[in-house]
């Protein structure tokens, strides 16, 4: 019926009141209408479907918009938020309604607000800026945000809009900050830093590198570190180094490199590999420090340990090394060699009348003449005082050594020019042969020494070959040894005390006990000399405990007289240090005398402590536990490695006189003293300088922060009563 009504309506529409239609016609129309209707229904369906799809898509879009990891919002021309996504509301910790309708700038710290306004007035299509946003909440935090504005020019009335995409770059910002701090650290460290790519090309060096090597980043960038090579190492050295890096990822050691100036220098370098994600080497980082000073110190120590400072000749130590070497070689090859012992005649007169510096002058000249008359392969050494020793290697017959002896006497015959005047000086030479006169170093030396005395007996200025019948020197030595035994028994040894001063306050801070032996016939015997005999004979152990007991008693006696000397230190000889019952005996003496252990110090030399390292550590720990202060005496001359020293439980380091005596004039020694003080500080040790003789030395040491000093300038070693007068 609906259909009929439609038909009537359409008739009305066409202005026909009546329609004369045949049945055929009507059927056709009805059919057409049906088709039409079906089409319409189909269109309706499509529309519905499209609507559903549209709704779903809008839904999806808005979910996407809201849940996007990036925060979005739309702003009007004045920067007021028109809409925003959920991400933004979460980022700023504000509900959407607290954002929409308000200026976005409200979420910025006041000083950043003008920047946003600036961006909004920009004519460009997109502007970008990192700003600090404040996240709202209990504890406000600043977010570093990258704000990207896109201008949306709306065709309608609404004017221009901004579409803003906001991302939180705080973590990146933090990372950048961190990188900045780290690179500042690399830039400012005192250690040189060099970074190469895996192919060896330098890509970075820091300013310490530039300062140390003299090469700028520009000069080395893209080059291989081999431009620094000094030529001092073999190619095997570098091969082994790179093998270690490949195997373990890192390597450290000493390398000599060349500065831009051409000068070569030692450095302590550690090289490590930086791997990429696939564990393949991507970079190599080298960190190094210039150890020129330490190297110089090592050389200087070596020189001090093995060479005589006055003449530059090898000293007794080095000579003994060479002699033992010669004995081993000669034994192996069935060869002979000769030893010549030279002693200047009446040298003491020159020293006493013209002074020590002229005496030294003469020694230098003598050593020059001796050296000039020998072959390169021979060794000349100064054994101390005016005694020289010559090792003639590969002498095939006894007559060779006599020819040399005659030549030496001849070169001495020319007068010596001293202080503008000419002096004649002669020498007496004793000769012994290996293996005829002995097969150990001790025997050959002793026999050359005896032969030299024989030469003196024969009227000086001559030489003498050792003959077994004559052993006078040994008798002298024996005499002294007997006298010393006697002296120990009779307690005719004495202790003198040398005060130490605290350099900062100028107050006396302690005393060192030093042995004196006034021989009834020979007078005062040099301490070093009789200590040597005491060491050789083992008498030193008894003497050592006598010294210890006497020093403790003295300390308490001063105390009774109202004087507090601070700490009294005694020297422990290597021999005594190695006694297995040292700790018990020390404890007994402390108990017996009532000495407070914290007022007692023991001085041990490096050479006593180093060879038997484990034992030394144990003994020193035990001493320290008793409360006794541990001093390392004559530091520097023992030639021990600084790193070893770190493992010894010690309290005080005494810088040897050899280093102090040439400060502040000698640059090398100044550097060494500074280095020792710096090292001692890092190890928390107290530093005492020995042998201060001049006001300049004192001022220098005080300025360098040395804690205490001892030396003739402050006071010589003096008798106990004198200490009482001086310190009170
Ligand atoms: P040391 O322990 O290094 O003692 C310092 C030495 O340097 C002392 O020599 C002292 O008189 C001297 N001296 C101090 N200030 C100066 C100065 O300004 N200039 C110069 N040129 N010398 C100065 P001394 O008394 O002849 O003793 C020499 C060494 O003998 C001592 O060196 C120590 O190793 C050893 N010694 C001394 N007394 C004893 C002791 O009781 N027992 C042991 N085992 N050794 C001792
Ligand atoms: Mg000492
Ligand atoms: Mg000393």
656: Cβ below 6 Å to ligand 1?
no
Q: Which uninterrupted H or E stretch holds 47?
A: helix 23-67
The average pLDDT across 447-475 equals 78
717: Cβ below 6 Å to ligand 1?
yes
CATH of 300-469, picked from 3.40.50.970, 1.10.20.140, 2.40.30.30, 3.30.70.270, is: 3.30.70.270
Q: How far is the CA of 484 from the centre of ligand 1 (A)?
A: 19
User: What's residue 19's pLDDT?
Assistant: 65
Ligand 1 atom nearest to 656, measured from its CA:
3
Q: How far is the CA of 503 from the centre of ligand 2 (A)?
A: 18
Nearest-angstrom CA–CA distance, 623 and 632 = 14
- Global pTM? 0.48
pLDDT tens per residue across span 383-434: 988 999 999 987 765 778 888 999 999 999 888 988 788 888 889 999 999 8
Q: How far is the CA of 654 from the centre of ligand 3 (A)?
A: 7
Say if residue 113's pLDDT is above 80. yes
pLDDT tier, 475 (very low <50, low <70, confident <90, very high otherwise): low
User: What's residue 469's pLDDT?
Assistant: 57
Structure tokens at 532: 């040597």
Sign of the dihedral defined by the CA atoms of residues 443, 446, 452, 457, in that order: negative
Tell which one of 500, 529, 530, 571 to mutate to probe ligand 1, the residue whose CB is within 8 A of the most ligand atoms: 571
When mean pLDDT is compared across 129-133, 171-175, 306-310, 519-523, the lowest value belongs to 519-523
pLDDT tens per residue across span 183-202: 899 988 889 999 999 999 99
634: Cβ below 6 Å to ligand 1?
yes
571: Cβ below 6 Å to ligand 1?
yes
573: Cβ below 6 Å to ligand 1?
yes
When mean pLDDT is compared across 577-591, 613-627, 637-651, the lowest value belongs to 637-651
Per-residue H/E/C for 287-298: EEEECHHHHHHH
Which residue from 701, 601, 597, 598 is spatially nearest to 650, judged by alpha carbons?
601
Q: With contact defined as beta carbons under 8 Å apart, do 702 and 476 qualify? A: no
Residue nearest to ligand 1 atom 12, measured at CA: 691
User: What's residue 467's pLDDT?
Assistant: 79
Q: How far is the CA of 514 from the centre of ligand 1 (A)?
A: 6
User: What's residue 476's pLDDT?
Assistant: 58
Nearest-angstrom CA–CA distance, 324 and 331 = 11
Q: How far is the CA of 606 from the centre of ligand 3 (A)?
A: 11
Say if residue 639's pLDDT is above 90. no
Tell which one of 527, 548, 632, 708 to mutate to probe ligand 1, the residue whose CB is within 8 A of the most ligand atoms: 527
515: Cβ below 6 Å to ligand 1?
yes
The average pLDDT across 248-253 equals 93
Where does 169-206 show beta strands of DSSP type E? 192-197, 202-205
What are residue 438's phi and psi, to 5 degrees? Answer: 155, 155
pLDDT tens per residue across span 518-541: 888 777 787 887 898 898 888 899
pLDDT tens per residue across span 58-106: 999 888 888 888 889 999 888 999 999 999 999 889 999 999 999 999 9
Radius of gyration over alpha carbons of the chain, in Å?
A: 48
3-state secondary structure of 547: helix
Which residue from 293, 287, 292 is spatially nearest to 272, judged by alpha carbons?
287
Nearest-angstrom CA–CA distance, 442 and 597 = 41
Q: Kindly indicate whether the domain formed by 484-727 is annotated with CATH number 3.30.1330.10.
A: no
Q: How far is the CA of 634 from the centre of ligand 3 (A)?
A: 4
User: What's residue 4's pLDDT?
Assistant: 47
Q: How far is the CA of 717 from the centre of ligand 1 (A)?
A: 9
Q: How far is the CA of 728 from the centre of ligand 2 (A)?
A: 24
Q: 629: burial class by Cβ within 10 Å (0-12, 13-18, 19+)?
A: buried
pLDDT tier, 614 (very low <50, low <70, confident <90, very high otherwise): confident
609: Cβ below 6 Å to ligand 1?
no
Q: How far is the CA of 498 from the centre of ligand 1 (A)?
A: 9
Name the more confident of 353 and 484. 484
Q: 610: burial class by Cβ within 10 Å (0-12, 13-18, 19+)?
A: middle
Nearest-ligand number for the alpha carbon of 608: 1
The CATH homologous superfamily of the domain defined by 68-131+143-166: PAS domain (3.30.450.20)
Q: How far is the CA of 206 from the centre of ligand 3 (A)?
A: 43
CA distances from 110 to 168, 171, 653 (A): 19, 23, 61
User: What's residue 418's pLDDT?
Assistant: 83
The per-residue b/e assignment along 262-295, b for 16 or more CB within 10 angstroms, e otherwise, is eeebbbbbebebeeeeeeeeeebbbbbbbbeebb
pLDDT tens per residue across span 541-552: 999 999 999 999
List CB contacts of 182: < 8 A, sequence separation 6 or more: none
Q: Pairing between strand 686-689 and 600-605?
A: unpaired
When mean pLDDT is compared across 89-103, 347-361, 698-712, the lowest value belongs to 347-361
User: What's residue 352's pLDDT?
Assistant: 79
Helices (H), 613-711: 613-626, 642-645, 657-660, 667-682, 695-703
CATH topology of domain 189-290: Beta-Lactamase (3.30.450)
Quick check: do 189-290 and 300-469 share a fold? no
Of the chain, the percentage scoring pLDDT greater than 70 comes to 93
- Domains of the chain, by residue range, sit at 2-61, 68-131+143-166, 189-290, 300-469, 484-727
pLDDT tens per residue across span 138-157: 566 677 777 787 877 665 55
User: What's residue 6's pLDDT?
Assistant: 54
pLDDT tens per residue across span 552-597: 999 999 999 999 999 999 999 988 998 889 999 999 999 999 999 9
pLDDT tier, 18 (very low <50, low <70, confident <90, very high otherwise): low
CA distances from 444 to 332, 364, 427 (A): 18, 26, 20
Which residue from 266, 262, 305 is spatially nearest to 289, judged by alpha carbons?
266
Give the distance, in angstroms, between the CA of residue 263 and the centroid of all CA atoms in the same chain.
22
When mean pLDDT is compared across 40-54, 154-168, 313-327, 357-371, the lowest value belongs to 154-168
User: What's residue 722's pLDDT?
Assistant: 96
527: Cβ below 6 Å to ligand 1?
yes
691: Cβ below 6 Å to ligand 1?
yes
The most confident of 139-143, 253-257, 682-686, by mean pLDDT = 253-257
Residue nearest to ligand 1 atom 15, measured at CA: 711
Ligand 1 atom nearest to 576, measured from its CA:
44
> Residue 121 gets which letter from DSSP?
T
697: Cβ below 6 Å to ligand 1?
no
Nearest-ligand number for the alpha carbon of 631: 2
Q: 66: burial class by Cβ within 10 Å (0-12, 13-18, 19+)?
A: middle
pLDDT tens per residue across span 228-244: 999 999 999 999 999 99
The total of other beta-carbon atoms located within 10 Å of residue 67's CB is 10
pLDDT tier, 345 (very low <50, low <70, confident <90, very high otherwise): confident
Say if residue 680's pLDDT is above 90. no
When mean pLDDT is compared across 25-39, 245-259, 654-668, the lowest value belongs to 654-668
User: What's residue 669's pLDDT?
Assistant: 85
Mean residue pLDDT across the chain:
88
């Amino acid at each position: 019926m609906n259909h009929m009504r439609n038909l009537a309506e359409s008739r009305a529409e066409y202005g026909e009141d009546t329609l004369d239609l045949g049945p055929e016609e009507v059927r056709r129309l009805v059919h057409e209408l049906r088709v039409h209707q079906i089409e319409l229904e189909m269109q309706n369906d499509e529309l519905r479907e499209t609507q559903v799809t549209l709704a779903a898509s809008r839904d999806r879009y808005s979910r996407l918009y809201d849940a996007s990891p990036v925060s979005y919002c739309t702003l009007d021309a004045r920067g007021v938020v028109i809409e925003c996504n959920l991400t933004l509301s979460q980022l700023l910790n504000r509900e959407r309604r607290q954002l929409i309708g308000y200026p976005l700038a409200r979420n910025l710290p006041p000083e950043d607000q003008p920047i946003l306004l600036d961006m909004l007035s920009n004519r460009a299509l997109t502007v970008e800026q990192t700003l600090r946003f404040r996240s709202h909440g209990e504890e406000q935090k600043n977010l570093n945000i990258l704000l990207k504005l896109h201008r949306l020019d709306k065709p309608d009335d609404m004017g221009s809009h901004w579409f803003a995409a906001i991302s939180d770059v705080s973590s990146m910002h933090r990372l950048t900050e961190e990188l900045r701090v780290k690179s500042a650290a690399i830039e400012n460290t005192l250690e040189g830093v060099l970074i190469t790519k895996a192919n060896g090309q330098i890509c970075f060096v820091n300013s310490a590198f530039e300062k140390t090597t003299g090469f700028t980043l520009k000069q080395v960038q893209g080059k291989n570190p081999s431009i620094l090579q000094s030529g001092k190492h073999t190619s095997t050295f570098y091969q082994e180094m790179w093998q270690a890096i490949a195997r373990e990822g890192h390597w450290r050691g000493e390398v000599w490199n060349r500065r831009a100036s051409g000068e070569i220098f030692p450095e302590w370098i550690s090289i490590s590999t930086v791997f990429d994600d696939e564990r393949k080497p991507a970079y190599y980082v080298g960190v190094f420090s210039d150890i020129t000073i330490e190297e110089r110190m090592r050389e200087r120590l070596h020189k001090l340990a093995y060479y005589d400072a006055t003449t530059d000749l090898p000293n007794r130590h080095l000579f003994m090394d060479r002699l033992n070497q010669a004995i081993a070689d000669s034994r192996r090859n069935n060869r002979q060699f000769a030893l010549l012992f030279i002693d200047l005649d009446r040298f003491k007169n020159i020293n006493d009348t013209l002074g020590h510096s002229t005496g030294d002058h003469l020694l230098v000249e003598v050593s020059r003449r001796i050296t000039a008359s020998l072959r390169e392969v021979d060794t000349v050494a100064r054994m101390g005082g005016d005694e020289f020793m010559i090792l003639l290697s590969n002498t095939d017959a006894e007559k060779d050594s006599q020819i040399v002896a005659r030549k030496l006497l001849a070169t001495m015959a020319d007068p010596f020019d001293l202080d503008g005047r000419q002096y004649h000086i002669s020498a007496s030479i004793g000769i012994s042969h290996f293996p005829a006169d002995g097969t150990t170093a001790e025997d050959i030396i002793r026999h050359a020494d005896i032969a030299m005395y024989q030469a003196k007996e024969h009227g000086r200025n001559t030489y003498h070959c050792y003959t077994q019948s004559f052993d006078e020197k040994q008798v002298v030595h024996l005499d002294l040894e007997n006298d010393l035994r006697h002296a120990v028994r009779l307690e005719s040894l004495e202790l003198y005390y040398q005060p130490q001063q605290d350099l900062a306050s100028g107050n006396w801070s302690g005393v060192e006990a030093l042995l004196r032996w006034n021989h009834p016939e020979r007078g005062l015997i040099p301490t070093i000399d009789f200590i040597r005999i005491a060491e050789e004979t083992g008498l030193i152990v008894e003497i050592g405990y006598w010294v210890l007991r006497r020093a403790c008693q003295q300390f308490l006696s001063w105390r009774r007289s109202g004087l507090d000397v601070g700490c009294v230190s005694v020297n422990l000889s290597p021999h005594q240090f190695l006694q297995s019952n040292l700790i018990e005996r020390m404890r007994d003496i402390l108990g017996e005398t009532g000495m407070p252990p914290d007022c007692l110090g023991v001085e041990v030399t490096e050479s006593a402590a180093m060879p038997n390292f484990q034992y030394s550590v144990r003994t020193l720990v035990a001493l320290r536990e008793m409360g006794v202060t541990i001093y390392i005496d004559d530091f520097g001359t023992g030639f021990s490695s600084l790193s070893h020293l770190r493992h010894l439980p010690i309290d005080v380091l005494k810088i040897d006189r050899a280093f102090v005596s040439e400060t502040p004039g000698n640059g090398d020694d100044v550097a060494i003293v500074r280095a020792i003080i710096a090292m001692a500080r890092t190890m928390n040790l107290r530093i005492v300088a020995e042998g201060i003789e001049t006001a300049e030395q004192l001022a220098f040491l005080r300025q360098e922060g040395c804690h205490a000093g001892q030396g003739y300038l402050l006071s010589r070693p003096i008798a106990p009563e004198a200490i009482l007068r001086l310190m009170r």
